[in-house]
Structure 1
């Protein structure tokens, strides 16, 4: 499996894991806001990474990876809030945060590499 295919799958799996982890939680106004935001940003990571893979130029690819980095970084914030507010167990939040942190590192590195080509 090549790099792009691997990360297309990983970003999709990350958004699926976020949705599955938060969907069963009972409704509250504060959680509802956080849940909507993190679901939007996690699915945006997956969707925009797919756009990176289909970009027609290096500039378009760079623009899309910038969005991916911004959105995955936003996910870190939402996961920190979910942890601090204790909406998820330590075990569930740990695995989500670990994958999010890895995606931030990889996507930031990829963004830097692309910036060298434009």
Structure 2
């Protein structure tokens, strides 16, 4: 029986939430610039995790996840900025902040473990 790939499922679900938030920010709050940046970086995380599944080597695997880590870090920036500029309510911010921090921790852990092998 295959073990669940937690980073794969969490990054995909996060991407879905980012797309939903993007649509809300554009349609209801008329915010187009930061929301587009959030959409780009927030969905890139899951795409890079998926790419890493078929990496050509351990170094390629680490490289793809390292780029995903950079995208996650950028995503946290956009979440913080959207919050600081009052485009997110408290609950939205807390929810997204918790999710991205969990993804960041997972990616750091996977990368560190992979480098030690």
Give the TM-score of the pair, scaled to structure 1. Answer: 0.88
Residue in structure 2 matched with residue 85 of structure 1 by the alignment: 85
Q: Which runs of 5+ in 2 are unaligned?
A: none
Alignment of 1:1-118 (within 5 A): 2-3=3-4, 5-25=5-25, 26=28, 28=30, 31-117=31-117
Render the CA deviation track for 1:47-77: whole Å, top value 9, x for unaligned: 0000111112101101101111100011110
Q: CA RMSD in A?
A: 1.5
Q: Which runs of 5+ in 1 are unaligned?
A: none
Measured after TM superposition, the shift of residue 22 of structure 1 is: 2.7
Measured after TM superposition, the shift of residue 2 of structure 1 is: 2.3
Structure 1 consecutive aligned stretches of length 4 or more whose deviation exceeds 6 Å? none
Give the TM-score of the pair, scaled to structure 2. Answer: 0.89
CA contact (8 A) 1:21 1:92 kept: no
- Secondary structure of the 1:107 match is helix
